[in-house]
A and B are shown apart, each in its own frame.
Chain A
Amino acid sequence: MSLMETTIKANRVLSTVEKLREDFPILKTTVHGKPLVYLDNAATSQRPSQVLAAYCFFCQSHNANVHRGIHTLGEQATDRYEAARRKVAAFIGAPSEKTVVFTRGTTESINLVAYGYARKFLKPGDAVVLTPMEHHANLVPWQIVATTMGANLRFWPMTPEGTLDMSAASDLLQPPVKIVALTHVSNVLGTINPVKEIARRAHAIGAKMLVDGAQAVPHIPVNVADIGCDFYAFSAHKMCGPTGVGALWGREELLDEMDPFMTGGEMIREVWLDHATWNELPYKFEPGTPPIAEAVSMGAAVDYLNHVGMDWLQEHDRQLVNYAMNQLLAEDGVKIFGPQDGRGALISFNVEGVHPHDLATLLDRDGIAVRAGHHCAQPLMRWLGVPATARASFYLYNLPEEIDQLMEGIRRAKEVFAYAR
């Protein structure tokens, strides 16, 4: 591609972003008198007007409980709730909408599998394979299940740059491994794991595989059938949707044989005084009144991302990450964690002599929101040998100029801390 073509392409991308930014009212807000630069998208993304409007419209026009009322609103609410399920299912390539369970988010989705599947089928001496880069949400549930069932946890070794050491696969994936659970995209390292290959190898020994897709679904086109995993968990709030709702996709035959995680109304078929039978999929796993307006808004978020285009978004992420990576690499005293290439839309880093919390406080006063801390991945922090890191994470509305501002903020922080030297 010639320089001119590259420039034209870059300009086109930019104008698209500027148009998209109009959809996010919060981006016009100021923080400490400075325009907001929101680079904490891996924690939660912002929501476009279209999603907010869908929430409002549902509440103003169709609000009722689902799968209960005979009345008109009840029917409308159920229609919209189920339409959202179809949208979410299509978005991740789920073969059937009844294999998509609405949950409160990724954490609940993973717990649902740990309690509903692993507690039923794991036997003493069985093993669960995890990685050291897991979010606590994909680690602690397995610790508890393994302890309860007398099973063991095994951890996939990592290369120094923070990718999974695939040469360890043959030794690691052996009976009695029954479950492999890992993240699609690391929320700290940005590593994109080869989930398709790992699923194939897990199945070769008869193990089931769960993928934590919290950082993947918002950014890359995900097709669960293509990946070939058995369970896939994700949240709405990192993909332009609301908090309080997410989804679990599972293979129909596995969901069928699983026990319900929580019990109560809606998830039953028949109830007697001393026993009950379960509803069909996916309602078996949706006890009580679900987050209805939130699920409808999650559907609207899917519409929005489809409108933006996941291929475009992937390219936009790639450009932003490369831009940020080059600047951070060139900056004196900045240490980057994770692989340089093939990473998700986030970069964790530390600035020499400046604790990440101090950096985040200083950046905040420039209106720049980054995350600082252990990112719910304490074992990974130990592996990296740091107490905490700073993290900048990007989304569809971020601009290269905002990365310039981040860099200026980092330089200012370095100056502040050099002052007493």
Chain B
Amino acid sequence: MRDELYGEILLDHYRYPRHFGALPNPSVRIEGKNPLCGDEFLIDLNLEGDVLREIRFSGRGCAISMASASMMTELVTGKSVAEIQKWIDRFRNFLRDGGAHRDEVDMGDLQALAGVAHLPVRVKCALIAWTTLEEGIGQRKNEPR
């Protein structure tokens, strides 16, 4: 049975999350929790200078949070911290308006999460990996070089 929210792309990321697991020597490891639903994520980053070379995530969560995390890892690999922050902000706005006022940028698989914008209680699920990553790259910035 097809469902408008739980579509093929979303469920594919849920069933087969990309970059799932841990990195042996991450430069940043950050934990994200949504105590409201019991979702827990661990995100490992390998940053080379300003560029995110590798990312892995592990944990458990609902289909929306898992799929969103999986899509995020595909998108941010190889990008600079500044670009990643731009995507985090873009995705937040996207969840606010369901992509109605988005700029010319192609959201790719993330488009599959547009339906979440109509479910305010689930926006947190879609954002948990992103806010965790945001904290991760922010933490790095504060580290002495």
Name A's B-contacting residues (CB within 8 A).
Answer: 354-358, 361-362, 365, 372-374, 378, 381, 386-388, 412, 415-417, 419-421
**Size range of the interface on B?**
20 to 34
Are A358 and B62 closer than 8 Å at their CB atoms? yes
Task: Please encode chain B, from 103 to 118, with 1 for each CB lying within 8 Å of some chain A CB and 0 for all others.
Answer: 0000000000000000
Jot down 6 A-B pairs with beta carbons below 8 A, ordered by A: A355-B61, A358-B64, A362-B6, A365-B5, A388-B37, A419-B6
Out of A387, A415, A420, name the residue touching B39 (CB < 8 Å): A387
Which of B7-15, B23-31, B136-144 lies on the face that meets chain A? B7-15
Are A417 and B61 closer than 8 Å at their CB atoms? no
Interface centre among B1, B12, B40 (most CB of A within 10 A): B1
Using CB atoms, name the residue of chain A closest to B62. Answer: A355
Number of contacts between A and B (CB, 8 Å)? 62
Known contacts being A374-B38, A378-B35, A417-B63, is A361 close to B119, with CB within 8 Å?
yes
Out of A372, A387, A415, A421, name the residue touching B60 (CB < 8 Å): A387
Q: In the assembly, what is the distance between CA of A288 and CA of B61, in Å?
A: 44
Out of B35, B39, B61, B122, name the residue touching A361 (CB < 8 Å): B122
Out of B15, B36, B38, name the residue touching A421 (CB < 8 Å): B15
Q: In the assembly, what is the distance between CA of A417 and CA of B3, in Å?
A: 9
Using CB atoms, name the residue of chain B closest to A415. Answer: B1
Are B37 and A373 closer than 8 Å at their CB atoms? yes
Q: In the assembly, what is the distance between CA of A386 and CA of B3, in Å?
A: 26
Name B's A-contacting residues (CB within 8 A).
Answer: 1-3, 5-6, 8, 11-12, 14-15, 35-40, 60-64, 119, 122, 125
Are A387 and B3 closer than 8 Å at their CB atoms? no
Q: In the assembly, what is the distance between CA of A365 and CA of B121, in Å?
A: 14
Chain A positions within 8 Å of B8 at CB level: 419-420
Chain B positions within 8 Å of A357 at CB level: 37, 62, 64, 122, 125
Out of B5, B11, B37, B60, name the residue touching A420 (CB < 8 Å): B11
Q: In the assembly, what is the distance between CA of A372 and CA of B62, in Å?
A: 11
Are B38 and A388 closer than 8 Å at their CB atoms? yes
Q: In the assembly, what is the distance between CA of A355 and CA of B14, in Å?
A: 11
Using CB atoms, name the residue of chain A closest to B39. Answer: A387
Q: How far is the CB of B91 from chain A (nearest CB, A)?
A: 19
Using CB atoms, name the residue of chain A closest to B10. Answer: A420
Q: How far is the CB of B80 from chain A (nearest CB, A)?
A: 33
Closest 5 pairs between A and B when the two form their complex, measured CB to CB: A387-B38, A420-B11, A355-B62, A415-B1, A357-B62
Q: In the assembly, what is the distance between CA of A362 and CA of B64, in Å?
A: 12
Are B63 and A358 closer than 8 Å at their CB atoms? yes
Q: How far is the CB of A86 from chain B (nearest CB, A)?
A: 40
Q: How far is the CB of B125 from chain A (nearest CB, A)?
A: 7
Q: In the assembly, what is the distance between CA of A54 and CA of B6, in Å?
A: 44
Q: In the assembly, what is the distance between CA of A378 and CA of B38, in Å?
A: 9
Chain B positions within 8 Å of A386 at CB level: 38
Q: In the assembly, what is the distance between CA of A255 and CA of B1, in Å?
A: 59
